[in-house]
């Protein structure tokens, strides 16, 4: 067998690794069939085991898919090494290896950037406690399936927290700031894009999960577990319980969270129904004035960026889950010196034009009475940022209404008055995102009726931007 992709066809997985330089431009999927399903989730599980097809291992794979759907398995060490070395540095791989094979392979692959965690899964962990101490990515030497599941579940939360911090933006709303500044344009296009997706004022086409189901079918490759996921979604999804789907670590929530963090235009169009349903739940259950808290891991560069911009604005691209309970002032992980723990304190008021937020237990099937969820794209003013004696940080934020941001207010008013959906294209062009602008236009053509007044202009924009030099991500 050698290699098997549990959620993609074998020939697809063999073709997807490439030793050529990573393509930094954006592909232009014009339909759900063009979406690269391999990269819909943040993490990939890779499992090497000479007996990978044993019934016991197959059963464990099915349980692991609760946390990560995309799965690649190997029974040969050489093929596994080759595959791992061919991956893009942007991927996030959780690698499971047995003791003896791991002892041979880990020294050769530990430095690979895409591998973020290694689990040595074996029947005699005592035989591997010494050599594994030399490799910082090894998260545990584990002998029981239940312990492996618990460790991966715990680590998924940890690594998701790190990914969330990478998607934080800083916005400077100063009197001398101009829309032409790339930083401002990068902030503005995303805020306006979220409004276009969520509001019924711009796109009249009905939202439905039909296109998403097409993507799910390709993602599952018709395997039993994948088909069960689709069946469950078709039979049980209820727009009144969208938040439940968001917080229950489903494949749907993992797709959405990654798409928001990476500002993935195609997937956000396909997930538009989900965003609308979550937004409506938040608005219908809007909370009042609250003080909430969150523990957040941040790298040194992110911390320095915030320190340099006190009294400016901080934006969370994705959803923000907080608690009304003040956390213990201890580091999330004091063994990884690449990241520091930031204790975030947020003052939030229910004001006009504020991002909606609500108690989780009023919207979802959960016993957590302390959690409060903020809609994606929430903007906060940085009140203060101070360091604690134990090398942790305190970050005090205040939720702001969009009317408090001069440039954003101006652009939103223009969008609402003129319904000029091409404002997104102009902003993307200002931050050298011509490829993303083309993708946006392609999806507008699919959403708008053929006789819409903007269709000729959209086609012109596609032709103009196609001839331009492709830009990098903002």
Q: How do residues 242-301 score in pLDDT, each as one tens digit?
A: 999 999 888 889 999 999 999 999 999 999 999 999 999 999 999 989 999 999 999 999
Number of domains comprising the chain? 1
pLDDT for position 66: 81
If you average pLDDT over every residue of the chain, what do you get? 86
Residue numbers of the domain that contains 71: 3-163
Average pLDDT rounded to a whole number, residues 422-440: 92
Q: Is residue 363 part of a domain?
A: no
Place of tokens 């494949």: 251
Q: Are 299 and 341 in contact (CB under 8 A)?
A: no
Tell me: pLDDT of 144 over 80. Answer: yes
Tell me: pLDDT of 397 over 90. Answer: yes
Place of tokens 């990654």: 258
**CATH number of domain containing 89:** 3.40.50.2300
At residue 227 the predicted structure's pLDDT band, cuts being 50, 70 and 90, is confident
Q: Is residue 461 part of a domain?
A: no
Give the Cα-Cα-Cα angle 212, 374, 320 (nearest 5 degrees): 80
Tell me: pLDDT of 33 over 70. Answer: no
Q: pTM of the predicted model, to two decimals?
A: 0.87
pLDDT for position 51: 93
Contacts 24+ apart (CB under 8 A), 27-32: 28/435, 28/438, 28/439, 28/442, 29/266, 29/439, 29/442, 30/442, 30/446, 31/211, 31/446, 32/211, 32/212, 32/214, 32/215, 32/218, 32/270
* More confident call, 18 vs 379: 379
Q: Is residue 27 part of a domain?
A: yes
Longest Cα–Cα distance in the chain: 71
Q: Is residue 133 part of a domain?
A: yes
pLDDT for position 6: 44
Q: Are 373 and 243 in contact (CB under 8 A)?
A: yes
Q: Is residue 44 part of a domain?
A: yes
Q: Is residue 42 part of a domain?
A: yes
Q: Are 471 and 434 in contact (CB under 8 A)?
A: yes
Residue 372: what are its φ and ψ, rounded to 5°? Answer: -125, 135
Q: Is residue 453 part of a domain?
A: no
Give the Cα-Cα-Cα angle 226, 229, 235 (nearest 5 degrees): 140
Paired residues of 212 in beta bridges: none
pLDDT for position 401: 81
Q: Is residue 48 part of a domain?
A: yes
């Amino acid at each position: 067998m050698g290699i098997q992709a549990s959620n993609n066809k074998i020939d697809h997985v063999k073709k997807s690794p490439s030793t050529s330089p990573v393509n930094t431009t954006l592909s232009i999927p014009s339909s759900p069939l063009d979406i690269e399903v391999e990269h819909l989730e943040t993490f990939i599980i890779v499992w090497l085991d000479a007996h990978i097809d044993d019934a016991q291992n197959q059963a464990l794979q099915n349980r692991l898919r609760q946390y990560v759907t995309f799965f690649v398995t190997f029974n040969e060490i050489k093929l596994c090494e080759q595959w791992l070395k061919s991956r893009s540095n942007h991927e996030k791989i959780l690698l499971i290896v047995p003791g003896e094979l791991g002892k041979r392979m880990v020294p050769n692959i530990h430095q690979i950037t895409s591998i973020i965690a290694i689990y040595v899964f074996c029947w005699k962990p005592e035989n591997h406690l010494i050599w594994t101490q030399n490799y910082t990515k090894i998260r545990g030497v584990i002998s029981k399936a239940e312990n492996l599941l618990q460790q991966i579940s715990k680590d998924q939360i940890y690594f998701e927290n790190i990914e969330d911090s990478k998607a934080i933006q800083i916005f400077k709303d100063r009197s001398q700031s101009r829309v032409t500044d790339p930083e401002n344009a990068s902030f503005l296009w995303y805020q306006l894009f979220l409004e276009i997706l969520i509001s019924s004022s711009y796109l009249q086409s009905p939202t439905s999960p039909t296109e998403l189901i097409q993507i799910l079918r390709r993602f599952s490759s018709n395997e039993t577990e994948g088909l069960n996921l689709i069946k469950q979604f078709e039979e049980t999804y209820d727009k009144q319980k969208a938040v439940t789907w968001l917080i229950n670590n489903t494949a749907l929530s993992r797709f959405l969270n990654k798409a928001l963090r990476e500002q993935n235009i195609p997937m956000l169009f396909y997930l538009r129904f989900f965003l609308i349903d979550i937004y409506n739940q938040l608005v219908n259950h809007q909370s009042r004035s609250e003080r909430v808290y969150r523990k957040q891991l941040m790298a040194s560069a992110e911390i320095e960026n915030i320190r340099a911009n006190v009294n400016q604005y901080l934006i969370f691209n994705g959803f923000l889950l907080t608690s009304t309970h003040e956390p213990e002032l201890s580091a999330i992980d004091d063994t990884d010196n690449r990241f520091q723990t930031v204790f975030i304190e947020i003052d939030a008021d229910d004001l006009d034009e504020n991002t909606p937020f609500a108690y989780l237990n009023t919207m979802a099937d959960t016993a957590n009475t302390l959690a409060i969820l903020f809609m994606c794209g929430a903007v906060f003013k940085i009140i203060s940022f101070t360091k604690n004696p134990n090398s942790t940080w305190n970050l005090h934020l205040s939720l702001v209404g969009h009317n408090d941001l001069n440039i954003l207010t101006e652009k939103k008013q223009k969008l609402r008055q003129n319904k000029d959906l091409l404002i997104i294209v102009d902003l993307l062009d200002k931050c050298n995102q011509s490829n993303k602008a083309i993708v946006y236009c392609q999806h507008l053509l699919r959403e708008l009726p053929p006789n819409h007044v903007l269709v000729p202009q959209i086609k012109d924009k596609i032709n103009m931007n196609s001839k331009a030099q492709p830009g990098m991500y903002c």
